[in-house]
Amino acid sequence: MNRSKMILLTAVCALLVLIASSGILHPRRTNTIHSSDEIAPFILNGKNDEQPIMKINNVGRSAIIKQHLDQREEVTHFHHNKQDTSHYLDHEVAVNFKSMPSDKELEQMAKDINGRMIKRDGLLFLFRSRDIETPKVLEYFQAKSNVDFAEPQYLLMQNGFEGANALNLPNDQLYQEEYQWNLPAIGTEKGWSISKGDEDIKIAVIDTGVDLDHPDLSTRLVEGYNILGENTNPDDDNGHGTHVAGIIASETNNREGIAGLTWYNKIMPIKAMSAEGYGTTFDIAKGIIWAVDNGADVINLSLGNYKESSVLKRAIRYAYNNNVVMIAAAGNDGSSQPSYPAAYPEVLSVSAVNNDGTLAEFSNYGNYINISAPGVYIPSTYFNEQYASLSGTSMAAPHVAALAALIKSANPELTNSEVVTIIQKTARDLGKKGKDIQFGSGLIDVNKALITAADAHSTREKVNEKRNYSQ
């Protein structure tokens, strides 16, 4: 065999892109995805199993709900006595008029309170100010002769379990049973008060496909593609892609399974890897391009290889130039060797952390790490309509992909680079002070990131208003 053929054979071998996580439950260092002694994922329950009845401490739940309210910046509480408190949303007031105000009068009121009218029902209107406190907004409306009454936007809690729903506490079974340590660890519940997502912002999962019939995912999907079969049936025959998709967008608040990080964003399933858990750079690249051309806003790549590829790099560049946010897993070999596509500058590279904030033993590290997220014993959906707990940087990456989608939902005008900047700047510092080789900028913080995104949106609105007013 001559030298050119040898080089060609080597290049073809390098095209295999191995999944960044083998779904390990016990950290093992390996350069392959599958081996004869591979430990199977811990199946939480199968499709034929009867789910146990939830036992809820409703009195304790009520106390937890109040604690959540007390900690939310946009909620104000006052004491009726030493024990009892009431809560209302700050900057919002409900106003009932005696007669219908004109459009011009409504516009003037919104301008006077530096806000807008957000809901109406007959003569009852809900106003929200951008920066004026509730008592001041109440004074403004109560002084008007045409106002029947004006009051704060109070928060009412039912004495039953459903009262948790208004406070962003899902009723999903595995969430209620506290399997999902990953959500509170990154401030997810607080972040939901700002954005639960937008179905117009789509996340492409380029992987082994997604279980299209899974009860926790079937309503969360848009049309996808099977690169391998060249058809529109990207069903999962491995389990990895279904697990990744569930972390991002499993049906939330449906009393079963897990809660996804986003309630409303949709998953675009793209099958570019086989049942064995690997795919070529050609197929991965084709999947990226298909996702971009079909409207993906975020792409999750829980896969990787240590060899750079011009084919893959070209697709990455195409997605970046089309304003798509790309997230990739760093790899599971406990190595500092750069993994691709994670190491490309256009991609946000994610390492995995334990529930104590330390770097997972299996997680790769290095100068190319941008951010970290939970990646150990993460429960999620699994193929054949099951649920399973897996570990890996493959599980860490979709946390960041979901956050990117939530940020875009809160502020659709942001560019991909601005989304990445927000994720990194709002991260909670771990390890050595500042950016380091283990955690990058730190652990993602959903709440802080969404606050920053919403503030940026409000600032742009004010600038546009001033510009329009000056014209």
Q: Which of 90, 172, 198, 207 is catalytic?
A: 207
455 given a catalytic annotation: no
DSSP β-bridge partners for residue 390? 378
Is 109 in contact with 127 (CB distance < 8 Å)?
yes
87 given a catalytic annotation: no
Q: How far apart are CA 77 and CA 68, in angstroms?
A: 12
Nearest CA to 305 out of 361, 343, 346 is that of 343
CA angle 214, 220, 224 (to 5 degrees): 90
Nearest CA to 368 out of 323, 335, 399, 322 is that of 335
207 given a catalytic annotation: yes
DSSP state of 98: S
Sign of CA dihedral 110, 115, 120, 126: negative
CA angle 431, 41, 327 (to 5 degrees): 45
Main-chain dihedrals φ then ψ at residue 22, nearest 5 degrees = -95, 10
The token pair at 181 is 């340590």
**C-alpha of 125 from chain center:** 32
Q: Which of 87, 91, 214, 240 is catalytic?
A: 240
Nearest CA to 131 out of 465, 463, 458, 451 is that of 458
Q: Which of 21, 129, 372, 394 is catalytic?
A: 394
Q: How far apart are CA 244 and CA 329, in angstroms?
A: 11
Q: How far apart are CA 424 and CA 419, in angstroms?
A: 9
Radius of gyration of the chain (CA): 24
- Pure H helices in 93-252: 103-112, 134-142, 173-176, 182-185, 188-191, 240-249
Question: Which amino acids are annotated catalytic?
Answer: 207, 240, 394
